[in-house]
Amino acid sequence: MIEENAILRHLERLPHARASFKQLVRELGAKGASRTELESALKRLVRRGALIEFRPGHFVSAARTREYVTGRLHRHREGYGFIIADRPLEGVDGDIFLPPAAAEKAMHGDRVVARITRVDRVGRAEGEIVHILQRAHPTVVGEFRIRRNGYFLIPHDERLRDWIEIPPELALPEPSLGTHRMAVSAPGVQSAEELDGMIVDVELLAYPKDGERAVGRVIEVLGYPEDFGVDVEIIIRKHHLPHRFPPEVLEQAQSLPSAVRAHELAGRVDFRGMDVVTIDGETARDFDDAVWVDRLPNGHYALHVHIADVSHYVAPGTPIDEEAYRRGTSVYFPDRAVPMLPLELSAELCSLKPHSDRLTLSVLLEIDHRGDVIAQEFVKGVIRSAARLTYTEVHAALEGDPAARERWAHLLERFERMRELALILNRKRARRGSIDFDLPEPFIEFDEWGEMTGIRRAPRNIAHRIIEEFMLAANEAVATHLETRGVPSLYRIHEPPDPQKVVEFEEIAAHFGYSLGLGALPVKRFAVVDRKRDGRKIRKDVIRADERLEVSSRQYQRLVEKIQGKPEERILSYLMLRSLKQARYSPENTGHFALATDTYTHFTSPIRRYPDLVVHRILSALLDGRQPPAMDLPAIAAHASETERRAAEAERELVEWKKVKFMAERLGDEFDALIISTSKLGFFVELIDLFMEGLVPIEVLPGERYRYLDNARQIVGERTRRRFAVGDRVRVRLDRVDGVERRLYFSLAEPARGRRWG
């Protein structure tokens, strides 16, 4: 058996920490079965980013190289691109720039190996693609077009810049194209000529190479761009969201029992006599958590958090499990969902429906008046939910609404205890420095035909806080228990922010008179010269953060408290969020910065998140006295983080698309807006009441010429010195809606209303 760590140690002893496969076979004595083991181990090391295969069969240690990097290619519609590296590269700041000639060697989203060709004095790097590791687009969705020289697909994603050629014999989909993707034709389409202008999904048969177009075949016809529901279908395919369950998955799901069977209750704690309840939004599609709170004789609180025992029904390696791993997470659109699990599980057997017996993994906590956990227990249980409650109903009852109090009179005391405990837990988190952003979320309203009618602020009340605090407490308790037991597990980690991002936020916050309280910032200042397209040289002062700069979550939370209720709260909270890193999954526990906790995981949503299902399996095995099943936790963590980002991007893009379509009917209307960022293009605004963003181009600003001051991040009039900066409130008029880029363009409708809400 060849261990991965032994391979890494051997490589790092070699010159430049690199070797070929043949060299490793010879030097490690890998013959026969050992050679196959070595090949598999190298693939795993490349997959998890410990090795870089900079060309086929040649490997270098990722930790030792400064020449090669792996990452995702993000192409701009103008042709150039950036590589977002899998891991930081010493001496390089930010992403690696690729000029158009280098970027065209791969497609947007491809995972590639790049060679660093140049790094300037402030750490900006340029590179070239040397190897494509993984193609991002087995299929491409777009508009079918007929031209004199043939049939083509115009990709919906403008970052896929080149049209795709479709041979005439491959223009109509076949009746069936495999078990994972069943092709469907639009009714009445009998010839390729009828497809002109329609939206189709195309499977790529050949990728672009040496100036030649990609070649594909049509596998689905979705309809015309403006047909109802086609926008959702486009987003699903653009982001490659698995949306049809394979036959073997459906077959397994349909073979599951329709209810809990008597023999399944053996060894479980029976909570069916307790009035546990679920509390969710009105449009919630699955119910995987139920709660119960009481006051103990010693004055402490008893909190029970019951989570659907999905691991009881979904065993590792089964068709349902493999499909759940592939999806990684459920995806929620305004009018539908793409679930991780079949409906037989997500909406029935694992959904904690009222008055139905359901199997659970339960977290039982004893919590004192300061919010500290005095005792904890984890058990397998069975519940019978007393009610399916909504946030609105619980909030109304707690606020004294007569009708709600009468309807839920038998649960009112329970609600009161829940509120007391939630506020205690929230105060505890605030004391330790947990960052508690409370940004308004947009809620899209639809009419009975599914057409968007408006946007409003999503309601948020004490009932939301109750469930959030209870889920956080359960997640933290499970994570601490698993870490204490010393078993490998998945953690939800959030790393401290990048020092450069902190410096950039501090500079903007200073314009509003605020600071994170870092004192004198340890920064380095550089004078660099950039060459503009017209050949002019522009001197810029670049401020680089010292890597030793440290910031705590408590400093962020103190600033959140300072700006609470102030006019500038919205913009500064938004900018603070942008300065933080994204949370992700990892088998290595490095803590959670935003929650200010050393140990955290995701346990409470196994219906819709695969990492929660993994944590359930680990905890369930411990409760049974078994060893947890063997799992490739690094690969699961990386895949789950990627599918989470994919889902979030798809959800966000569809909402933005619907917003743009909604605004297309409002050309010429005026709106109050807030400047949220500035650039040489102009300034971006957010409409205060509609939660929409758009650009006011610098060339349409009235009265004089304006220019962008990079150091001050302001747009300034050359004659009057009139200034536009982040945080200014302005009145804007909608001039243009770009449906392709899904961008709104505004002009100034009246003079700015004052500097920084002044």
In sequence order, what DSSP letters do the residues of 368-425 get, joined into one string? -TTS-EEEEEEEEEEEE-SEEEEHHHHHHHHTT-HHHHHHTGGGHHHHHHHHHHHHHH
Radius of gyration in angstroms for the set of CA atoms belonging to the chain, rounded to a whole number:
28
Q: Please list, in sequence order, all residues whose beta carbon lies within 8 angstroms of the beta carbon of residue 275, skipping any fewer than 6 positions away.
A: 292, 386, 387, 410, 411, 414
C-beta separation of 532 from 550 below 8 A: no
Q: Please list, in sequence order, all residues whose beta carbon lies within 8 angstroms of the beta carbon of residue 115, skipping any fewer than 6 positions away.
A: 54, 67, 68, 127, 128, 130
pTM equals 0.87
The Cα 301–Cα 176 span in angstroms is: 58
Residue 753: the pLDDT is 46
Please return the burial class of 459, using the count of CB atoms within 10 Å of its CB with bins 0-12, 13-18 and 19+: middle
Q: Is the pLDDT of residue 344 over 60?
A: yes
C-beta separation of 61 from 51 below 8 A: yes
Most confidently predicted of 154-158, 239-243, 283-287, 663-667 = 239-243
Q: Is the pLDDT of residue 697 over 60?
A: yes
**What pLDDT band is residue 545 in, cutting at 50, 70 and 90?**
low
Residue 656: the pLDDT is 86
Handedness of CA 509, 510, 516, 521 (dihedral sign): positive
**Lowest pLDDT segment from 172-186, 452-466, 539-553:** 172-186
> pLDDT tens, 439-449?
767 778 877 77
The Cα 197–Cα 366 span in angstroms is: 63
**What pLDDT band is residue 536 in, cutting at 50, 70 and 90?**
low
Q: Which is more confident, 540 or 21?
A: 21
Instruction: For 181-198, give the secondary structure using H, E and C.
Output: CCCCCCCCCCCHHHHCCC
Residue 108: the pLDDT is 93
> pLDDT tens, 295-318?
999 999 999 999 999 999 999 999
Question: Of how many residues is the chain composed?
Answer: 758
The CB density around residue 267, as the number of other CB atoms within 10 Å, is: 9
Across residues 202-208, what is the average pLDDT?
A: 94
> pLDDT tens, 21-32?
999 989 888 887
> Which class is domain 68-134?
mainly beta
The Cα 379–Cα 480 span in angstroms is: 16
Tokens in use for 125?
A: 């790097």
The Cα 599–Cα 479 span in angstroms is: 6
> Which class is domain 667-757?
mainly beta
> pLDDT tens, 260-302?
999 999 999 999 999 999 999 888 878 999 999 999 999 999 9
Across residues 13-17, what is the average pLDDT?
A: 88
Nearest to 657 by CA among 745, 738, 600, 566: 738
Q: Is the pLDDT of residue 171 over 50?
A: yes
> Which class is domain 139-240?
mainly beta
